Structure 1
Amino acid sequence: MTNALPPLFPDARDFLAALAQNNSRDWFTAHKDRYDAAVKFPALRLLDEISEAIARRSGAPVTGKLFRPQRDVRFSKDKTPYNTHLHLMWTLNSSGCALFFGLAPGYCTAGGGIMGFSKPQLPRWRAAVDGAYGDEIAALVDILALKGFTAKNPELKRVPAPYRKAHPHGHLLQRKSLTFWHEMSAREQAAPMPALMSAYLILEPVFALLDSALTA
């Protein structure tokens, strides 16, 4: 795994690694200016650049989100207060399709899809897989794997009722989400803006298919 740093975030990994070793509110407060300079402000810049580029192409509004550094520790045994990664998300349509970017000391990833189907979307997804969309979705999963975008594993161990266990697209019916992930190369990390736009273009058929399949 490469440790190359994108120029947009020249000091982000150093800060996140230091935070991992000093994960306390006192340390973070004392180094808040460093967080802003190394992580927050470059992230906000990238959010704006990608949002504008996608909106120009799609003609639709894009909503960018910088995930907050504070962890929700209410129901976690791990009470360390801060995340030691940077995660960004661009929501692309009303179905919740999104483009993702993740940076941490040990990884740099681009991804896309829907993290979790909503309660109304799940039966629509299963009906789509069982019907007109099944072959297309299955083919798209294989095509994207060849392009370096791997689908996250299904959440369910068995094909849900009322679908038969030997369903030709059982692995898709076992899903409660559909996301694809790509470990960014050193070259891609060196130019995160074009790399993320390339990821968007590769994943564009996924976004269109999910939006169509999940829209009532």
Structure 2
Amino acid sequence: MGFAGFGDGACEFFDGLEADNSKAYWSDHLALYREHVRGPMEQLLAELEPEFGPGFGTGKVFRPHRDVRFSADKSPYKTHCGAVIERGRGGGAYYVEVSAAGMLVAGGCFHTAVAQRERLRTALDDEIRGERLRGIVDALLDQQWELGGDVMKTRPRGIAADHPRLWLLRHRTLHVAHRWDPDEILHERACLDRVRTAWSALADLNHWCAAHVGSAG
């Protein structure tokens, strides 16, 4: 069965989970989660992975349980359902999630180890590779994507104060996102086209990350 949209109860499920993030709520609404949220997400990914995965990475739907071992917040469940296509952390990603807030699509470099951060900085400092990324990011910002990441408050060591790409060089990680409030499209097959179009817009960024940052495995 192909993707036909997320269920009518998807956002309401997460509204309830935000109010009562407990094992009791989860157990009582597990069938709703499977039918309206996770099942459609698996179908969405299954249709898009053959287009975006080959030569780039593999897809997965994230597990709903939070890792609370080192967190002060012991809430057991994530208040969203996310899926991704990636080879490994840092080397670009096609990401999508649904929550009470609607839908979010994102891509880029979300996690970096020390060696990856060094490669990111070296590539950004390089005139050709750095200007290529600046052009990619500028184009996405013009299309109303939001730029995010772990950003240094000071400039990196050895980088001139007047470096033309200093605003990018401060990034330890670099990604962009686009959001949609809950709407009818979320529950229709047209949602597939929304994600496909958004992921297509991320291709240049993701392939730059794959080529110049690389995966942590």
Amino acid across the alignment from 1:78: D
The answer (yes or no) to whether the contact 2:68–2:74 under 8 Å persists in 1 is yes
- Structure 1 gap ranges (5+): 1-5
Query: Over residues 81-127 of structure 1, what are the superposed CA-to-partner deviations in whole Å (9 max), with x where a residue is unaligned?
Result: 11111111111579631111121112311111110223221111111
* Equivalent in 146, 150, 153 of residue 150 of structure 1: 146
Structure-2 residue corresponding to 1:84: 79
When normalised by structure 1's length, the TM-score is: 0.86
| CA shift in 2, pair 1:76/1:94, >3 Å | closer
Structure-2 residue corresponding to 1:205: 204
Amino acid across the alignment from 2:155: V
Structure-2 residue corresponding to 1:54: 52
Query: Over residues 19-65 of structure 1, what are the superposed CA-to-partner deviations in whole Å (9 max), with x where a residue is unaligned?
Result: 2222111221232222211211111111111112324xxx4264112
Structure-2 residue corresponding to 1:3: none
* Equivalent in 104, 109, 118 of residue 113 of structure 2: 118
More deviation in 173-182 or 130-139?
A: 130-139
| CA shift in 2, pair 1:153/1:52, >3 Å | closer
The answer (yes or no) to whether the contact 1:92–1:99 under 8 Å persists in 2 is no
Amino acid across the alignment from 2:19: Q
When normalised by structure 2's length, the TM-score is: 0.85
User: Alpha carbon RMSD of aligned pairs, Å?
Assistant: 2.3
Amino acid across the alignment from 1:144: L
**Partner of 2:202: helix, strand, or coil?**
helix
Whether 1:165 aligns to 2:164 is no
Structure-1 residue corresponding to 2:9: 11
Percent pairwise identity: 26
Amino acid across the alignment from 1:104: S
Amino acid across the alignment from 1:87: G
Matches within 5 A, 1:96-135: 96-131=91-126, 132-135=128-131
Amino acid across the alignment from 2:158: P
| CA shift in 2, pair 1:137/1:96, >3 Å | closer
Structure-1 residue corresponding to 2:60: 65
Amino acid across the alignment from 1:123: E
**Partner of 2:73: helix, strand, or coil?**
coil
